[in-house]
Amino acid sequence: MRVGYVRCSTAEQNEARQLKMMEEQKVEKIFIDKASGKNTDRKDFKAMMAFVRAGDTVIVESISRIARNTKDLLTIISSLTEKGVEFVSLKENIDTTTPHGRFMLTVFGALAELERESILERQREGIKIAKAEGKYKGRKPVAVDEAKFRAVCARWRAGEITATAAMQEVGLKANTFYRRVKELNL
């Protein structure tokens, strides 16, 4: 069976171009995710991996659609190979049934990982510049009644309640709770 895997990073992105390619490839079953490719924790990706059987071929528009880092890509290809499933990436013209195809897959996987890391680096640089210019201030702090927070912390420090109970009372997660404790020197 010819199995297609389509992925867009966000719900706003359109998968029409990838779906057209799948139609042209006469794909019989398509799995679609609208999620980041930073890891393999994607609903339809997992369903596709469970679905494919020996003799099937997984087809993707490009390797960046199935994985964003070399380790994940090679793990995916290894899993497919163990199942007797072929892998084809249209953009890079990669077919894992050949040694040349397997070599090219490794090279392109490394390039996809480099691209993702470059995007993240540019994003961090942009945020740093925006912060320096006063245009980016991060998330707004969680609003907490300071008097109630101090009272709950006093009970916690006195051993009357656990830290978990204190966090529940003030409605904060652990990292925010402890950061506030530190900021207020409690």
The tens digit of pLDDT for each residue in 120-175 reads: 899 999 989 988 898 887 777 778 888 999 999 999 999 999 999 999 999 999 99
* pLDDT of 58 above 90: yes
9 is catalytic: yes
Domain boundaries, the chain: 2-119, 146-183
Reported confidence tier of residue 19, pLDDT bands at 50, 70, 90: very high
Please tell me the distance from the alpha carbon of residue 87 to that of residue 97, in angstroms, as a whole number.
8
pLDDT at 156 (0 to 100): 94
Q: Are 3 and 55 in contact (CB under 8 A)?
A: no
Reported confidence tier of residue 11, pLDDT bands at 50, 70, 90: low
pLDDT at 15 (0 to 100): 86
For the segment 63-102, what is each residue's pLDDT rounded down to a tens digit? 889 988 777 888 898 899 899 999 999 998 888 878 888 7
* pLDDT of 62 above 70: yes
Mean local confidence (pLDDT), 33-49? 90
- Out of 9, 64, 78, 118, the active site residue is 9
DSSP at 95 = E
CA distances from 27 to 21, 51, 59 (A): 9, 14, 8
pLDDT at 56 (0 to 100): 95
pLDDT at 177 (0 to 100): 93
Q: Are 48 and 41 in contact (CB under 8 A)?
A: no
Helices (H), 32-98: 43-51, 63-66, 70-83
Write down the architecture of domain 2-119 according to CATH: 3-Layer(aba) Sandwich (3.40)
Reported confidence tier of residue 106, pLDDT bands at 50, 70, 90: confident
